[in-house]
Each structure stands twice: as C-alpha cells, then as structure tokens.
Amino acid sequence: MSLRASPPTHIPVLLQETIEALAVQPGGRYIDCTLGAGGHVAAILEHSSPGGQLLGIDADPEAVKIAGERLKAHSGSTLLINENFVNLQAICIKYDFHPVHGILFDLGLSSLQLDSNGRGFSFQHDASLDMRLSPDQEVTAADIVNTFPETELAYLIRTCGEEGYSHQIARHIVQKRPIRTTLQLVRTIEQAIGGRRGKIHPATKTFQALRIAVNRELEHLESALKQAVSLLGFEGKLVVISYHSLEDRIVKQFMHQESKDCICPPGTPTCVCGHTASLRLINKKVITPSLAEVQLNPRSRSAKLRAAERIITYDEQYKTIEKLCFSVKPKDNGWRKPTLLKRLQWAFLTP
C-alpha cells in the first residue's frame, strides 16, 4: 500500500521542494525533527527506499502516536521519538544515528494541533489557555497571561507577535485578569484594539507571541540548528521550512553566517574570528509555495524553505578518518575492514 494512501489529516507543505532540497536517495539516513502527522516522513521513506533509515522527533506525544500508526508498515526503518528537538544531538548520540544525509525542520504546528479543540492554540475554538506542545512542560499560556507584569506582557506581544498595539492589549489583559480561556482572551483583545483589521484576525499576533513564549520556540530553534550541522555528513542537507518572519530571520542569519569563512565585523583589517564555513547555501533565494499549492492548502501561504549543505574542510576530513581508524579495535577475523569502511561511508555519505 502506498504511504500516501492514508487519509490526509495535515497536508505536508512544499513536499516536492523538500524532497529535492534534501536530495533524498535510496539507502540514505534522514532526521525529521518535526514529525507532525508524518507527511514529509512518508515521502522521505518512499524516496529513500530501499534501505533508507529515518529518525522522527516530535515534542507532542499525540503527534508521535499518530505518525507511528501511519508509518506502522515501516517500523523496521523508522525510529520515532517523543522529544524536543532542542535535545537533537543527545538523541542522535543515544540512538547512534549520525552522521546523516539530511535533516528537516518543518516548524510551527500541524493542522491536527491547530484544529484540536482542547489545546488552546487556535482563537477559533474555546479552550483553556494551554498552548504547550507537550504536557510535560510546566508553563502554560494562562500562566503568562495571568502573572506577567504589564510591561513584560507588552514587550512579549511586541517582540514575539510583532504586534503594533502591544501596549493597549497588555493593559486590557491586566485589567481583565484572570483570563482562563481562548475566547476570553480573544474578547479582551477585540476590546483593546477593535475588530478585524484587513485579512488577519486581531488575536493572531498575540496568540503567536504566547505560543512562541510557552514553547521557547526561537531559542530552541537557534540551538537545534547548531546541533544539526554537527550531525550532517559531508554534503548532508539541512532543510528548514518556517512560517513567520521571526523564525525565518533566525534560519536565514544562521545559514548565511555558517556559509562564511570569516564573520568579523565589516572593516576589520585582518580576520580575528577564525570562523570557517560549515555550510554552503543550496538555494540563495528563499523557496515559497506556488499559487496552486496555496489554493489547495491556504495554511501553506506563509511558508519559506531554506536549504544548505554541509561542507567539511580537508582538515576535518583528515581528523574524521584518523578518529575512525583509531577507534576501531583490530581483530584477526576479518571484520575490521568492513566496519571501518561502513563508518567512513557514513561520515562521507557515499552510497
């Protein structure tokens, strides 16, 4: 049965573009840091067959369960882990899953989470103000809304929601506390700044800010991108799909910085940073969905895909070979050579 025959619950965004950017090949090893409903993973498994291996990570236990059901037939080649991608390196070391041919981040929330009635992510359903990806997290959106001082709330709504009316919204929230549900918050925001402005709902930006803060989305992304680079083999691909400008800025700056040999401030007479490039940009221009995709799946409209590939200096290549040669214990029975060869193949991602 084709993997795509499962009933669609979340439509994977920029699917073809993602498979191309990852350059998925038979026998390759891939990590999807944002498993979701398993849409991208299903396509990666199809294209990496035969012999492909996949590690899927999601902070939301519900997502891991749903993806697990969908990918049941592929349990031999997939490892699905309920974890936050901020622990990416530790997860890969624990499961001995590195180096890899490609790593994908499809950030944000799945339609399953947005459409779920009880999670508090959407301002269209009444629910308790939760917004946590995992029930193990301590801080909920209600905690922030009901305990932050007004100035901190305004700062959060301005910086993480890029909301111009942050002060008015924060003042109204503080006056109306305690606020326990999404619709109470929506009404408070509407009282603060009025009804719909243009195409976007007046609560959109405040909800975005709270979700980012509850899940520490920006700091986790920054940390995970650095970890991802160290897990890629030679010419391994890093592909990131983001859905708002704060995420995209982090991805863009990271990839640009990591593709430069020197990151000294402009005008520095000689390089003092000693930085060497670890990535090469694959697409200099950001990739966005076609009009047809947006019409089919309006949630894809803000998507931006950026991709880069790992470059390894001669020095690093030499050190990797040296490390691998000396880490394999010599034995008489002839297994030493193939084991070392396999490890070298993984490090340099030869077929």
Ligand X SMILES: C[S@@+](CC[C@H](N)C(=O)[O-])C[C@H]1O[C@@H](n2cnc3c(N)ncnc32)[C@H](O)[C@@H]1O
Tokens representing 260? Answer: 């430069």
Write the interaction track for ligand X spanning residues 99-138; mark x where CB under 6 A is met and - where it is not.
-------x-xxx----------------------x-----
Non-local (6+) Cβ contacts of 199 within 8 A are: none
Q: Which is nearer to ligand X, 144 or 179 (CB)?
A: 144
Cis check: omega of the bond before 99, within 30 degrees of 0: yes
Residue count of the chain, please give it.
351
Q: Is 21 in the site for ligand X (CB under 6 A)?
A: no
Q: Which is nearer to ligand X, 95 or 318 (CB)?
A: 95
Residues in 312-331 at the binding interface with ligand X, rule: CB under 6 A = none
CB atoms under 10 Å from CB of 331, counted, come to: 9
Q: Is 12 in the site for ligand X (CB under 6 A)?
A: yes
Q: Which is nearer to ligand X, 54 or 86 (CB)?
A: 86
Q: Which is nearer to ligand X, 86 or 307 (CB)?
A: 86
Q: Is 78 in the site for ligand X (CB under 6 A)?
A: no
Tokens representing 185? Answer: 């918050």
Q: Which is nearer to ligand X, 63 or 141 (CB)?
A: 63
Number of residues lying near ligand X (CB under 6 A): 22
Cis check: omega of the bond before 50, within 30 degrees of 0: yes
- Smallest separation, CB 272 to ligand X (Å): 34
Q: Is 85 in the site for ligand X (CB under 6 A)?
A: yes
Cis check: omega of the bond before 265, within 30 degrees of 0: no
C-beta separation of 35 from 80 below 8 A = yes
Residues in 147-166 at the binding interface with ligand X, rule: CB under 6 A = none
Q: Is 84 in the site for ligand X (CB under 6 A)?
A: yes
Spatial distance between the Cα atoms of 73 and 277, rounded to a whole number of angstroms: 40
Residues in 31-70 at the binding interface with ligand X, rule: CB under 6 A = 34, 36-40, 57-60, 63
- Taking Cα atoms as reference points, which of 343, 346, 228 lies closest to residue 279? 228
Cα separations in angstroms, 307 against 69, 86, 98, 103, 111: 29, 20, 19, 10, 24
Pick the binder of ligand X from 119, 132, 205, 220 (CB under 6 A): 220
The residue ranges that bind ligand X (CB under 6 A) are 10, 12, 34, 36-40, 57-60, 63, 84-86, 106, 108-110, 133, 220
